[in-house]
Amino acid sequence: MNNTDIFPQIKIERPLYQKDQLREQLRYEDTKKNLLSHCCGEKLRFKRIITKAVPSIRWLGNYDWKGDATSDLIAGITCAIMHIPQGMAYALLGNVPPVVGIYMAVFPVLVYVIFGTSRHNSMGTFSIACLMTGKAVLEHSDPAYFKDLDVLEASSNTTDVSTGYTPIQVATTVTFVAAVVQLAMYFLRLGAASALLSDMLVNAFTAGAAVQVVSTQIKDLLGISLPRYKGYFALVYTVIDIIKNLEKANHVAILISVIAILILCINNEILKPIVAKRTSIPIPIELVAVVSGTLISQYFFLSENYGIKAIGDIPTGLPEPALPPLSLFKDVFLDGTATAIVSYVTSLSLAMMWAQKVDYEVDANQELLAMGASNIVGSLFSCMPVCASLSRSMIQLVVGGKTQLVSIIASVILVGILLWLGPFFEPLPRCVLASVIVVSLKGMLMQVKDIKKFWKLSKLDAAVWIMTFFTVVLVGMDVGLLVGVAMSLISIFIFSFKPYTCLLGSVPHTDLYLDITKYKGAKEIDGMKLFHYSGGLNFATKNIFRDELYKLVDLNPQKEHINRKKLEATQKKLENSTKTFNEKKLVKLSGKINMTLKCVIMDFSSLSYIDPSGVSMLQNVIESFRKLNVSFYIAGCSDRVYDTMVKCDLVGNGSEAIKIFPSIHDAVECVSFILGIHSAVEDGISRIT
């Protein structure tokens, strides 16, 4: 059935407009408002401002205590247990006492719960942020304070110069600097930079980060001791050391790891789907594994009899609040800034992934406020800069956590552990914890298979994925993110240099104008060239625009001007010559001249942006066409583009000012009337007057 049988023919009757006439008649007004009027507007009421700045008010008010509380409770208990060994281990990377890692899971996390928008980010210690902080601690702390701490390679990285600062003081100053930087980014609204983190980039980063995390757990799965490598290519060195030390593997640790992994996999792949059909309460298998491992290790003396590594001593007590020494602010500013950016990008990339999986939104700018406020409080309670942990966040999601109430529960439990129950978990085998982490990363590791889909969709995007993934795996997470963002920018830059251009033709008896190379029913109008340009027109693309224009309209004004001068000279020579002149040469010169083109109409309906360089180029092109008596018009440009043209004096009231029309149909009808060209649409639609 034809569309004409369904829809009636529409007759369009309205005045013909130019852009300035349309603005004047319809009372165009710039809708930009100053800050005062914006804040005083009805839309930004006090309640809305508060709920936006403190998202916890909104989700706590709508919290499903019957449906979600049990899942959050189980997830909170499991994450609390995860915080203990991870916090202690990553604190050593920061060259501070192990208990600092536990502090980081309490004080700053409670602040993040209030201001954060991610429901599943488990904030606290993270290897990269702790390593970057540890570098500053080694450089600026007094070497005397390292004598009683378990700091790897401290003697080779510190000097004998006494600074008078403790490792805690340096670490908290770095945290304070990171907080200041993140809060400054929040007030400058730099959270929009998260747009650079495409789904492709986040997918590659998280898959590579999962490989990194698994590599750090292999030594615990095998029960071997390896040096901890700081900096880049850590995974490469770790794999080499694992291969060298395979003969030293603890067979009992391997057996425990295999049993734990099998039980966890059977639960996740078989039991979990069955239980999910009967009840919404998941089996807390990770919690069961941790508690069971602790009890078995304690009563069977696995550490003493079989050399099984346990998580070790957990000290008790809470830190006293203290201001960081601001005299160190200048010395650690670069370290704090770098740590702030890396921790924010890492946390945001994870938050975006969880939000995509569970279908909710994350406010990139609000995350800056949440992390900045968290680090301000953390700097008062002996904490390093906080960051989301890939493994803990994944477990929080897998176990069934729904909201940041998980973090509150985990923090309360950790306070109790710090005060009373710490020694109970000291016998927990590291291989059990490593098994839980590795199994929880299965889904993230399987993202590697997505490369086939990405390759089919776009070779360039697939290249971004591959480079990001392998850089994260082989070099480091921070460098991987930098490479991914850089390649994403390069891909955008490349696409911006490939604007879509074509010539439009009129669909007979309509006001539609379509690409003549794709729509065979669209016909060109005699004497006119309708040039369509899609993209931005700036200093970088102006030459591409000009070349595409000359190519499609089949007229280069410079060459045309030269050919016309040659033709005039030849004709004059022929008139004054008494000899027989070679007429073939005259015919050849005449063939190079385009005498049929009378008008060029630029369809700028898809022009997203134009800068002064683009306007200047456009002005030169228009002048060059006018010298050949070819009229030049613009149609369909946005108000943003039009305003730029006005500011650059391309549009004005003089006789030489270019005419701009609100639609291409207005331009075609006007030019047809002025030049006396028969319009392909005038037979089907009444002439617009």
Domain boundary among 439, 472, 491: 491
Residue, of 194 and 410, whose pLDDT is higher:
410
Residues 311 and 230 in one domain: yes
Domain boundary among 445, 462, 491: 491
Residues 401 and 540 in one domain: no
Residues 181 and 310 in one domain: yes
Burial 579-592 (b: 16+ CB within 10 A, else e): eeeeeeeeeebeee
Report how many domains make up the chain.
2
Strand 528-537 relative to strand 659-661: parallel, antiparallel, unpaired? unpaired
Percent of the chain having pLDDT more than 90?
22
Is residue 184's pLDDT more than 90?
Answer: yes
How far apart CA 61 and CA 513 sit, in angstroms, is 53
Query: Hey, is 63 helix, strand or coil?
Result: coil
In this prediction, residue 181 carries a pLDDT of 93
User: Is 300 domain-assigned?
Assistant: yes
In this prediction, residue 284 carries a pLDDT of 65
Residues 382 and 531 in one domain: no
3-state helix vs strand vs coil in the chain, percent to 5: 60, 5, 30
Residues 432 and 551 in one domain: no
Residues 244 and 352 in one domain: yes
- Residue type at 291? V
Q: Which residue has 């890692």 as its token pair?
A: 101
User: Is 38 domain-assigned?
Assistant: no
| Residue 497 binned pLDDT confidence (cut-offs 50, 70, 90) | confident
- Tens digits of residue pLDDT in 419-464: 877 677 788 888 887 887 788 778 778 888 888 888 888 888 888 8
How many Å is the Cα radius of gyration of the chain? 34
| Residue 272 binned pLDDT confidence (cut-offs 50, 70, 90) | confident
Residues 452 and 377 in one domain: yes
User: Is 683 domain-assigned?
Assistant: no
What average pLDDT does the segment 635-657 reach? 81
In this prediction, residue 574 carries a pLDDT of 65
Residues 443 and 523 in one domain: no
In this prediction, residue 195 carries a pLDDT of 62
| Residue 635 binned pLDDT confidence (cut-offs 50, 70, 90) | very high
Pull the structure tokens for residue 327.
Answer: 């005299």
User: Is 3 domain-assigned?
Assistant: no
Residues 479 and 505 in one domain: no
Least confident residue range of 91-105, 274-288, 302-316, 436-450? 274-288
Look up the domain containing 67 and give its range.
55-147+167-491
Least confident residue range of 37-41, 177-181, 335-339? 37-41
Residues 543 and 461 in one domain: no
User: Is 222 domain-assigned?
Assistant: yes
| Residue 587 binned pLDDT confidence (cut-offs 50, 70, 90) | low
How far apart CA 578 and CA 333 sit, in angstroms, is 88
Query: Hey, is 17 helix, strand or coil?
Result: coil
Length of the chain: 689
Is residue 38's pLDDT more than 50?
Answer: no
The candidate with the shortest Cα–Cα distance to 387, out of 115, 129, 182, is 129
In this prediction, residue 677 carries a pLDDT of 62
Angle (nearest 5°) at CA 421 between 418 and 424 = 125
How far apart CA 528 and CA 102 sit, in angstroms, is 74
- Residue type at 237? Y
Q: Give the DSSP H/E element, type plus range, for residue 130.
A: helix 127-140
Is residue 316's pLDDT more than 80?
Answer: no
Contact 383, 104 (CB under 8 A): yes
Give the chain's mean pLDDT.
80
Residues 504 and 470 in one domain: no
Residues 377 and 468 in one domain: yes
- Tens digits of residue pLDDT in 503-546: 999 988 888 899 999 998 898 988 899 999 998 888 888 888 99
- Tens digits of residue pLDDT in 146-162: 554 434 333 333 445 56
User: Is 40 domain-assigned?
Assistant: no
In this prediction, residue 249 carries a pLDDT of 92
Least confident residue range of 83-87, 123-127, 320-324, 617-621? 83-87
Is residue 1's pLDDT more than 60?
Answer: no
User: Is 528 domain-assigned?
Assistant: yes
Write the CATH number for 624: 3.30.750.24
User: Is 312 domain-assigned?
Assistant: yes
In this prediction, residue 656 carries a pLDDT of 61
Domain boundary among 426, 459, 491: 491
